[in-house]
Amino acid sequence: MNFPSNIFNSHSKQDGDFFLGITDILGFKPKKLEIYKKAFLHRSVNRKDKKGNPMNYERLEFLGDSMLGTIISKHLYDQVPEGDEGYLTKMRSKIVSRDHLNELGKDLNLIKFVESRIPKTHFGDNIHGNVFEALVGAIYLDRGYKYCEKFIHARVIVPYVDIEQLEGKVISYKSLIIEWCQKQKKTFNFNIYEDTGNDELKHFAVKLIIGNKVVAKARGTSKKKAEERASKRAFFALQDRIG
């Protein structure tokens, strides 16, 4: 493999290692290494550019999210000509869901490149998906749309996008339970109750009540996670009736 001239002489060994690692993930050579460095810069580092603007991956994450959505939309448009707008939107949501993006980031072990003042063990799962999107944004700024499309095709579409499997994949059990309750004209409520666990990290406890019956309970590090887990348990408990 031919590397840019003087890459190892003009940059530190750390830059050289980063270049090699990123090249291996991308499948092509980056031109502007600084853009990719920013894709892994956590806001806790509190770094600023020459104009005093904050430097971290969040703006690249915003850009990458848009590029990922556009390229996945184009792929679905081409591959499913019979799909209407609602179908295509739902399928895209399954591919670019937060859980799926977190899986992608983990599979590529992107967290090893993150520069932060916070110990990496303290990050939640979303850090993996965040830096994946930031990396997509960096590719777009460095090499343009075609290379961005090439990367997403190789790293997302080929290994993970199976239309038939995606059609049966549940994005949100909570949404599914709510939709079922509304169709069946059943009342439902997610009740937060006191969590007596001894976990170091604060947890929330949730009871899912359908009608007058507690159908499922769950705990999570956020109300949203607890409600989703309770909904998933309720789904499997009521699967015969939900169909």
| Other beta carbons within 10 Å of 199 | 9
133 is catalytic: yes
- Residue 182 CA to residue 176 CA, distance in Å, equals 10
Asked about 65 being catalytic, the answer comes back as yes
3-state secondary structure of 209: strand
Q: Which of 34, 61, 65, 85 is catalytic?
A: 65
- Active-site option among 133, 142, 227, 228: 133
Find out whether 235 and 176 touch, Cβ atoms under 8 Å: yes
C-alpha span between 183 and 189 (Å, rounded): 15
What span, in angstroms and rounded, lies between the C-alpha atoms of 179 and 99?
21
Q: Which residues of 169-183 are buried (b: 16+ CB within 10 A; e: fewer)?
A: eeebbbebbeebbee
What the block records as the tokens of 41 is: 């810069």
C-alpha closest to that of 231 among 180, 167, 165: 180
173-183 helix and 223-237 helix, angle to the nearest 10 degrees? 60
Cite the active site residues.
65, 133
